[in-house]
Amino acid sequence: MGAVERKIQARARTPLVALLGNPNCGKTALFNRLTGARQKVANYAGVTVERKEGSFSSPAGRSFRLLDLPGAYSLAAHTPDEAITRDVVAGLRAGEQAPDAVVCVVNATNLRLNLRLVLEVQRLGLPMVLALNMVDVAKKRGIVIDADKLAAELGMPVVETVAVQSGGEKSLLRALDQMPDEAPRTSNALSAIDAISVEDTQHEVRRILDACTSHANDTGNLTEKIDQVVLHPIVGPILLAALMFLVFQAVFSWAALPMEMIKGGVDGVGQWLGAYMGDGMLRSLLVEGILGGVGSVLVFLPQILILFFFILALEDCGYLPRAAFLLDRLMGGVGLSGRAFIPLLSSFACAIPGIMAARTIQNRRDRLVTIMIAPLMTCSARLPVYALIIAAFIPNRDVGGFMNLQGLVLFALYFAGIASAMAVAWVFKRIMGSSAQQPLMMELPSYHWPHLHNLALGLWERAKIFLTRVGTIILTLMVLVWFLSSFPGAPEGATHPAIYYSIAGMIGRGMAVIFEPIGFGWQICIALVPGMAAREVAVGALGTVYALSQSGEALASSLTPIIAQSWTLATALSLLAWYVFAPQCLSTLSVVKRETGGMRWPLIMAFYMFALAYIASFITYRVALSMGG
Ligand SMILES: Nc1nc2c(ncn2[C@@H]2O[C@H](COP(=O)(O)OP(=O)(O)OP(=O)(O)O)[C@@H](O)[C@H]2O)c(=O)[nH]1
Ligand SMILES: [Mg+2]
């Protein structure tokens, strides 16, 4: 038997355990604790939308494969992510075995809602363990659950877990160890579930709870009191607006110092290289191509981290679903459901997870429209482009004593993205026909302080992603841009800088025919093309292009003053407008293709976004010119 076959056989013998439970009960936190993975955990329903596999060994040395699944309220799936869970558990997914055992995770503070799924899954006849998760919170609130009695009522082992504490998974590991190797299984079809009415199930849940739990000392929690303010019809929206505003101010003002430091470092290296290397191709590649390009993207790390700090903190404390409620009416006005809020908010980080999070939307048309407008939300890759142009053209001064003008313009750009997304949604809904407005049904999680450890890990992950991007795709593209911009060299008696005659120069000049009417000269056009692969590259490419266009010793990392000299304000504003709308990201389009199952929607997306970008830039450019910009 070959090694590969042995491996396959061993894998087949390793029992497959599925984590199953309502949304937001802590499945992924438990998955991470058991397997050491770092899947996303956050305090709202619908964080996990895919099936994830990992593995672990118990203290007794038994190995298990573990599945993390999207949360579900019932096996009668209503949304695409719930359908994944149902199909995996029932063994309906092509090419995949049904799990050998199920760990049903429940939120110990909300058994009334959670037990319904447990009873449903029980009817499938798989070996099961019940994990009473979040017992730390339940204990604090004085909720008493008699685990032994519950185990007797349900006829399965019941263990207490705290997924966010180290060691909080021990009892579960013990229970898994005690499971017989070849557990008897009487797999029933899904239809076994349909046979019993919801009322009967609810009745059973109530009976079990009365027998096993006591809420006599339940102190309730702070959540309701906080919500009286946060969900207040007038105070709530004001609070939301103030919060958003604070985020954008912080992105600019807090980042100033660390950005200076990174820039200083890059400049220092550039000067050192400039002084110690002879004039030549290698120096040009290192200083203008790599340092100029990569350095000008790298300085945006602090801003990106500050943005993510806020997004992660908001995700973890439980505020997001509240914001969805506050905005439900507004979104209803353009035919979107409040459920679209979280996918759209995720798109501020990157449109790709946002588009995948749309799986939690039940109505197909709502889901499609949400996917179509997700890329209009300002993703973090646009931030460097915005920040660069703002720094060059918008004076850094106070407005009204407490606001910063640059922060204000950034806020306006984000707002432009949101407003146009709403308008586009309205148009799509008009064309596709509105679906009947459904009331927003969403579980509001309890608030808790963001776990600092998670927050730090989340930021670290983000920094890693950004630095990896800078070190791989951005670096590669920058070298390519430098190469295309440096060859062939200038002919005899050239009147322009050498880059004008290079391959990139020729491409740029060709494109300029189309883009001149919206104010983009050939240098900007050169940057637009590599920007398709990664938006930030546009900034880096501008760095290289202008560094090569400069005569003398001007260093690329001082890109800001160079573009302030070379562009008119009208051009700068036009480029900002372009970046609000243009579909400058091929990976987004390919995810849309996967999620919608065809080329139709990504093509429609690319087309409408290009059209909007051109029109918006044209209008911006002309208006700014006529006002003397
Ligand atoms: N206090 C406490 N918080 C927990 C515990 N387990 C999870 N949490 C928190 O509960 C929230 C939800 O955790 P997740 O692991 O994302 O929940 P999930 O079940 O995977 O959620 P979906 O993927 O949306 O179905 C997060 O804010 C966790 O930090 C626990 O045992 N105690
Ligand atoms: Mg999860």
In our burial notation (b when 16+ CB lie closer than 10 A, e otherwise), range 554-565 reads: ebbbbbbebbee
- Would you place residue 195 in the very low, low, confident or very high pLDDT band (cuts 50, 70, 90)? low
Q: Are 269 and 291 in contact (CB under 8 A)?
A: yes
The tens digit of pLDDT for each residue in 83-94 reads 999 999 888 887
Residue in 32, 39, 43 to alter for ligand 1 test, most ligand atoms within 8 A of Cβ: 43
User: ipTM of the assembly?
Assistant: 0.98
DSSP character string of 70-111: ---S-SS--SHHHHHHHHHHTT-STT-PPPSEEEEEEETT-H
CA–CA distance, 179 with 170 (Å, rounded to integer): 15
CA 107 / ligand 2 centre spacing (Å): 13
Residue in 19, 20, 22, 25 to alter for ligand 1 test, most ligand atoms within 8 A of Cβ: 25
The tens digit of pLDDT for each residue in 386-410 reads 888 888 888 877 777 777 788 888 8
Q: Are 426 and 335 in contact (CB under 8 A)?
A: yes
Q: Mean pLDDT throughout 61-77?
A: 91
Question: Which ligand lies nearest the alpha carbon of 138?
Answer: 1
Terminus-to-terminus CA distance in the chain, angstroms? 76
Let me know if 58 is exposed, middle or buried by CB neighbors in 10 A (0-12, 13-18, 19+).
middle
Strands 16-21 and 101-107, how do they pair? parallel
Ligand 1 in contact with 32 (CB < 6 A)? no
Cα within 13 Å of Cα(167), Cβ side: 1
Is the pLDDT at 217 greater than 70? The verdict is no
Ligand 1 in contact with 458 (CB < 6 A)? no
- Helices (H) then strands (E): counts for the chain: 30, 10
Q: Which domains does the chain have, with CATH numbers?
A: 16-214 (3.40.50.300)
| Cis before 23? omega within 30 | no
Q: What is the model's pTM?
A: 0.81
What atom of ligand 1 comes closest to residue 316's alpha carbon?
27
Lookup: tokens for 139: 């204990």
Residues with CB under 5 A from ligand 2 (ion): 27-28, 47-48
The tens digit of pLDDT for each residue in 501-534 reads 888 889 889 999 999 999 998 888 888 888 777 7
What atom of ligand 1 comes closest to residue 454's alpha carbon?
29
Residue in 67, 164, 442 to alter for ligand 1 test, most ligand atoms within 8 A of Cβ: 164
Q: Mean pLDDT throughout 318-333?
A: 85
Neighbours of 597 (CB within 10 A): 8
CA–CA distance, 319 with 223 (Å, rounded to integer): 11
Place of tokens 């939120």: 107
Ligand 1 in contact with 316 (CB < 6 A)? yes
Ligand 1 in contact with 28 (CB < 6 A)? yes
